[in-house]
Structure 1
Amino acid sequence: MHAVILAGGKGVRLRPYTTTLPKPLVPIGDEYAILEILLHQLSRQGFRTVTLAIGYLGHLIRSYIGNGSRWGLRIDYASEEAPLGTIGPLLTMRDRLPDDFLVMNGDVLTDLDFAGLLDEHDATKPPLTVATYARQVDIDFGVLTTKNGQVTEFTEKPTLYYQVSMGVYGVAKEALAKYEPGLALGFDELVLDLLAEGRHPREYRFDGYWLDIGRPDDYDRANADFPHLRTQLLEGPIRVVPGRGEPAPQASASRR
């Protein structure tokens, strides 16, 4: 029950909010940082150890989060001197990771059952399990299919449906074995390599609340949604870990 939170990006799309704060520390609902909500959820779901992969303004994250005792967690840190992509930071800490673990972006707001995803990943043993979410894209134009200068199909303002990655994964350490630490590696590269090898990642489909806080519009929506979702996000079911009892009493999102 170990989680790695990717918290090293510069958050360029979220500027000016991220000019002086790393994206995982921007406040939600004027009370909590995004990262606090994630740590609170992980603690309630039975996770006890977390690695924060930090980079841009990482010293602020270290200072604010500390050792994780506020949430009943043991937190350590992995620093990247240069951007390493989504998967690259995992290679630098590979030797101290368990065989299977959770990886998540530090800017997601969701009520996903993280422990449930990792349980299914552990039970089915794929190299990678990807949490997915249904998205639809409305096209405001008539769409033509053409071939050899002729129109072969026409659809007026279609709606396209996709299953998109939520930025939350179950990862088998062995899936990372062939890559060299210190080099950049993206999630896209890992998935394409696995597909080329015939080792298909597993899907963990989710239809609850999910928001990737990547742009100012997303951030505004998160703050508008939070008052209505506060209980749903912060007071989900507590998972008792065998032999460890319930999460520590202080394992709550601390008020800013």
Structure 2
Amino acid sequence: MHAVILAGGKGVRLRPYTTALPKPLVPIGEQHAILEIVMRQLAAAGFTSCTLAIGHLGHIIRAYVGNGSQWGLRVGYATEDSPLGTMGPLLTMLDRLPEHFLAMNGDVLTDLDFGDVLRRHREAEAPLTIATYARQVNIDFGVLNTDEGRVVGFAEKPSMDYRVSMGVYGVSRDALARYTPGLPLGFDELVLDLLEAGTPPQAYEFDGYWLDIGRPDDYDRANAEFDARRGMLIKGA
């Protein structure tokens, strides 16, 4: 079981925290970097190896993680010299990856079972499996439905429910074979291409704990809640 951790972004949304630290190394609580939590979770879920796709401040990540032996993982690295999007880094290492693997952002704080995502991906024989999470947006205005200049519906401050990508994916190499290594490839482009080809991604619906640490509000919430959730996020801690 192999995972690729996408850790090359600049973390612009999380400045000033990411001025001197790469986003995956920002601290959660007072003891752990988010990347350490992810590595511990991967090992506990049965993963034995992973590749870190690094770029911005990547030398700091290398120094922190090393070969991964402290977490029982074999860790390799792939360097992103220029921004390649969410999926682009996978193309540069595709010949070194197994047929099915997990890919995930390096700033995800969740109790999702990463191993189950990969197992379900294999079973579905899908080109891509996307872990999804329910979100709700409250709209602060009255919303009008109009048709040719007439109001045909109205809702006062409604809420909208939808599912978002958690930044965790089961990936099959065949889904990426058509793309050129070294060129950018976004998650959005890959999904739209799969839909157009009639080979839609599989959804892995999850309703547990998930925060996108790249969002300042979620980062602050993660620090506020971490002590209470430590045992859930780091087994045995």
TM-score bucket of the superposed structures, by smaller chain = over 0.9
Are 1:57 and 2:28 counterparts? no
* Match in the other structure for 2:76: 76
| Deviation per residue, 1:35-66 (Å, 9 max, x gap) | 00000000011100100000000000001100
Q: Secondary structure at the match of 2:140?
A: coil
Residues 98-247 of structure 1 aligned to structure 2 (within 5 Å): 98-235=98-235
Cα deviation, residue 129, structure 1 = 0.4
* Match in the other structure for 1:243: none
Cα deviation, residue 215, structure 1 = 2.5
Give the partner amino acid of 1:114: F
Q: Secondary structure at the match of 2:165?
A: strand
| Deviation per residue, 1:106-147 (Å, 9 max, x gap) | 000000000001001011110000000000111111001112
Structure 2: 5+ residue stretches without partners = none
| Deviation per residue, 1:69-116 (Å, 9 max, x gap) | 000100000001100000000000000010000000000000000000
| Identical aligned residues as a percent | 70
Q: Secondary structure at the match of 1:137?
A: strand
**Residues paired across the two proteins, number:** 237
Structure 1: 5+ residue stretches without partners = 237-252
Larger RCO (CA under 8 A, 6+ residues apart): 1
> What is the alpha-carbon distance in structure 2 between the residues aligned to residue 75 and residue 64 of structure 1?
12
> What is the alpha-carbon distance in structure 2 between the residues aligned to residue 217 and residue 207 of structure 1?
19
| Deviation per residue, 1:211-245 (Å, 9 max, x gap) | 00113222111100100110000017xxxxxxxxx
Q: Secondary structure at the match of 1:50?
A: strand
Structure 1: 4+ residue segments shifted above 2 A: none
> What is the alpha-carbon distance in structure 1 between the residues aligned to residue 115 and residue 38 of structure 2?
12
Q: Secondary structure at the match of 1:98?
A: coil
Q: Secondary structure at the match of 1:134?
A: strand
> What is the alpha-carbon distance in structure 2 between the residues aligned to residue 146 and residue 110 of structure 1?
40
